[in-house]
Structures are given as C-alpha cells and as structure tokens.
C-alpha cells in the first residue's frame, strides 16, 4: 500500500520538468546526478520509514512536539503546512500553465482547476482509505504510459549528447543529485500515513522496491531526454520531457504525436498529488483545531490554494517558485526528519526503545 501511495503521490508535473533543473547544474553529466539522486531518494526513504517506525501509531505532527518540545514542534508543524500550501498552489499554477500552453489554450484556466478540485474535495472527504483505493485504480494508467515512453525513447538516443563527461568536475554532479532529490515532493507522506500501515517495520522492502521502480522510470526519462535533445536544448525548454516525446519518430507507425502519451500520467499525477496534499493539510487543521465539519475545512483549503495562485503573477514566477520549492523540499523530506530521528534516538523516544 505504501509503495502505491508513494508512486502515485510523487508523480506530478515535475517529471516533465526535472531534466531541466538537473541539466542546468550538472550539464551533460546530469545522468550521473540522477543516478546519485536516485540513491539519495532511497536513503531518504529509509530514514523516513525508520522515523515512522519509532512512532508507528502517531503521525509526525503528534510526535514532533514530543521530540522537539512544544514551541519548536509547533513551528515545524506550521512549516509543513505552509510548505504543502505552497506546493499545492504551485502545482495548481503549473496545471493552469500547462492547460493554457498545451491542452486547453482558450479555456479560462480556472475552469479545469475548479473541476479537478471539486473531484478532489469529494474524494478527500471520504478519508485516506478511499484516496488509497483510488490510487490503486490509477496506478496502471500512470505507470504503463511511462514505461512505454521509456521504451520508445531508446531508439532515438544519441550517446554523444552525454559528452563531455564531468567537464566541470564532480561538485555540480552532487549538487544536481540534491536537485533531483528535491524535485520530487511526496516522500514525507510516509510520516503521516504510517499509522494507517499495518506494520510499518515490514514496509521497507515494498517501499524501496516501489521507489526503485519509479526511479528507474524517471532515470530513463531524464537521461533519455538528455540523449535525445542534448543539454543545450533542454536548458531552453520549459517542459523537456514532453518536447522530447514530440521528437520521437517511428516511420510507418500510425501514431505520430507521442507527446500525448504523457497527458494521462500528468493529469492523473496532478489529481492524485492534489488529493493527498489537500488531505494532509485539511486533516492536520481538523486535528489541530478539533473541527467537526470535515467537508467545510477541505473545501476552504482547496479554495485557499486556488486563491494563492492569483498572487503568482506569471510563468517566470512559477518557475522561480518551483526552484525555491526544490530547496524547501530537501528541508522537509530530509533535513527535518533526519534531525528528528537523531533527536528521538538520543533521547530514547519512540515505541521501540
């Protein structure tokens, strides 16, 4: 179950843009950054499960205050809420930009967002169990097109696009690896859904296998984009993965526009990521303020996220905020959980002490 949640929650708009973020730093050797980044994702995953397994019956908000004390704990919890709000708003803004740019250029950008959010509110109101059930249904529709994309790419790769190797030394490669790690929000969900997992101690292997599978796909798409487009083009392109697919050609094959293969994973990825984050924000607020009207809180959270995007002036700002979000992600998926784990271990807190 945890594996499914992670795959579906992590995939969103960013898998169409992450090659640009990594290439901007590591250049032609970005594939190595992605490889190291994938290893960092696994290490982060292990840290998160380790922390969750110390407090298997609580979510992070509950035990954060126990570990850090009330003032710092509250501050960290508010930090997570702000981070998620920011993420949801940027995701909505990215969706609006994508709709305007590719799918529905003349439709007012708010209409598709409102429709998506109505469905999200409806889903989230019935709780995490229903969200997970839906994820199980969505998984093949997200993953199968991505597998097909990777297979299609292989034929068009030009190996000279990976040269020169390490032209700027190893440091940009490691920086690129951190950017790769930060490009995928969603790992921190483990800390909040752990109480719903039957035995979190047994979740290591399935979670690692799921993430390994997802990382293989992303590595395929990321390094394949470099091999097909070359770094000079990726740096110039807003959505490199989609552009890369419009270059793939199979003469005589009835399908011409392979870029459309990413439409379904992108839309479903956006929907599932929104669902899980709106769930997390809403239920954190419900728990914190002991509110009974769940649907009202969920609706307010959705509307607030939508309102925030009015404060993002243009595409340039969305791109800047995405980059800020990458750095914030490192803080919230790795730094804070790691420090919490160390602190809990030193103080001998948690059920397994």
Partner 1 sequence: MKKIIPGLLLFIILPFFLTSCWDIRDINNRAFVAAIGLDLPEDPTQKYQVTFQFWDPIKILRKNETNTITEKVEAQSINQAVELMQARLSKTITFTHLQLLLVGEDLARTKNFQDLANFFLKNSEIALKLRLNFIQGKTAYETLKSQPKLGKNITDKLIDMSQLEKKFSLPRTSAFYYFLSDLRKTEGTALGSRIVLPGEFLIRNGGAVFGDWKLKGFLSAEEAQAANWLVEDTQAIVVGSTPEGTYTYHSKISRLNMEITEMPNGLPKFTVNLKLIGSIVEEEGKHLDLSQSENIEKMEILFSQVIAEQVKNAIHKSQKEFGIDYLGFGKVLKEKRPKIYENIDWQKQFPHIPIEVSVKAQVKRFGLIK
List residues near partner 1 by CB under 8 A: 101-108, 111-112, 115, 160, 163-164, 167, 229-230, 232-233, 236, 243, 246-249, 251, 256-257, 259
Q: From the CB of 160, what's the least distance to partner 1, in Å?
A: 6
Query: From CA 19, how far away is CA 237, in angstroms rounded?
Result: 10
Q: From the CB of 109, what's the least distance to partner 1, in Å?
A: 11
Q: From the CB of 95, what's the least distance to partner 1, in Å?
A: 14
Q: Which of 65, 85, 60 is nearest to 75 (CA)?
A: 65
Q: From the CB of 241, what's the least distance to partner 1, in Å?
A: 13
Burial class (CB in 10 A: 0-12, 13-18, 19+), 51: buried
The residue among 114 and 352 lying less far from partner 1, judged by its C-beta, is 114
The residue among 71 and 169 lying less far from partner 1, judged by its C-beta, is 169
Q: From the CB of 32, what's the least distance to partner 1, in Å?
A: 16
Q: From the CB of 106, what's the least distance to partner 1, in Å?
A: 4
The residue among 165 and 288 lying less far from partner 1, judged by its C-beta, is 165
Q: Which of 29, 28, 21, 19 is nearest to 231 (CA)?
A: 28
Distances (CA, A) of 3 to 47, 87, 292: 15, 21, 31
33 close to 228: Cβ distance less than 8 angstroms: no
26 close to 32: Cβ distance less than 8 angstroms: yes
φ/ψ (deg, to 5) at 156: -95, 0
Whole-number CA gyration radius for the chain: 20
Kindly give the interhelix angle for 70-98 and 263-289, rounded to the nearest 10 degrees. Answer: 150
The residue among 8 and 239 lying less far from partner 1, judged by its C-beta, is 239
The residue among 39 and 255 lying less far from partner 1, judged by its C-beta, is 255
Q: From the CB of 130, what's the least distance to partner 1, in Å?
A: 14
Q: Which of 1, 2, 7 is nearest to 215 (CA)?
A: 7
The residue among 122 and 141 lying less far from partner 1, judged by its C-beta, is 122
The residue among 107 and 296 lying less far from partner 1, judged by its C-beta, is 107
The residue among 187 and 231 lying less far from partner 1, judged by its C-beta, is 231
* DSSP characters over 165-203: TTTT-SHHHHHHHHHHHHT-TTGGGHHHHGGGSS-GGG-
Q: From the CB of 309, what's the least distance to partner 1, in Å?
A: 18
Query: From CA 143, how far away is CA 150, in angstroms rounded?
Result: 11
Sign of the Cα pseudo-torsion (203, 131, 321, 68, in order):
negative
> Under DSSP, is residue 13 helix (H, G, I), strand (E, B) or coil?
coil
The residue among 97 and 185 lying less far from partner 1, judged by its C-beta, is 97
Q: From the CB of 230, what's the least distance to partner 1, in Å?
A: 5
φ/ψ (deg, to 5) at 77: -60, -40
- Work out the number of other CB atoms within 10 angstroms of the CB of residue 148: 12
């Amino acid at each position: 179950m945890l594996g499914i949640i992670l795959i579906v929650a992590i995939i969103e708009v960013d898998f169409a843009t992450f090659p640009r973020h990594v290439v901007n730093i590591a250049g032609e050797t970005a594939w190595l950054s992605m490889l190291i980044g994938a290893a960092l994702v696994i290490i982060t995953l292990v840290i998160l499960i380790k922390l969750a397994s110390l407090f298997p019956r609580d979510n992070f908000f509950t035990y954060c205050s126990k570990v850090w004390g009330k003032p710092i704990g509250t501050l960290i919890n508010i930090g997570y809420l702000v981070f998620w709000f920011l993420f949801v708003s940027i995701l909505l803004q990215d969706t609006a930009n994508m709709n305007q740019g590719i799918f529905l250029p003349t439709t007012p950008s708010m209409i598709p967002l409102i429709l998506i959010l109505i469905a999200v509110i409806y889903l989230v109101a019935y709780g995490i169990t229903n969200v997970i059930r839906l994820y199980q249904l969505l998984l093949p529709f997200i993953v199968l097109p991505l597998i097909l994309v990777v297979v299609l790419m292989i034929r068009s790769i030009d190996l000279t696009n990976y040269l020169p190797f390490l032209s700027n030394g190893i440091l940009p490669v490691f920086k690129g690896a951190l950017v790769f790690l930060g490009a995928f929000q969603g790992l921190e969900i483990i800390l909040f859904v752990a109480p719903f997992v039957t035995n979190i101690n047994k979740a290591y292997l399935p979670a690692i296998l799921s993430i390994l599978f997802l990382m293989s796909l992303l590595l395929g798409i990321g390094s394949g984009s470099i091999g097909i487009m070359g770094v000079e083009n990726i740096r110039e392109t807003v959505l490199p993965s989609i552009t890369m697919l419009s270059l793939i050609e199979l003469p005589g094959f009835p399908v011409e526009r392979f870029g459309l293969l990413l439409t379904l994973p992108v839309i479903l990825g956006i929907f599932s990521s929104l669902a899980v984050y709106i769930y997390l924000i809403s239920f954190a607020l419900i728990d914190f303020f002991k509110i009974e009207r769940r649907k009202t809180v969920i609706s307010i959270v959705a509307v607030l996220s939508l309102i925030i995007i009015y404060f993002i002036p243009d595409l340039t700002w969305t791109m800047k905020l995405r980059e800020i979000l990458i750095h914030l992600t490192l803080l919230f998926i790795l730094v804070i959980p790691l420090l919490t784990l160390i602190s809990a271990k030193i103080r001998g807190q948690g059920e397994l002490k």
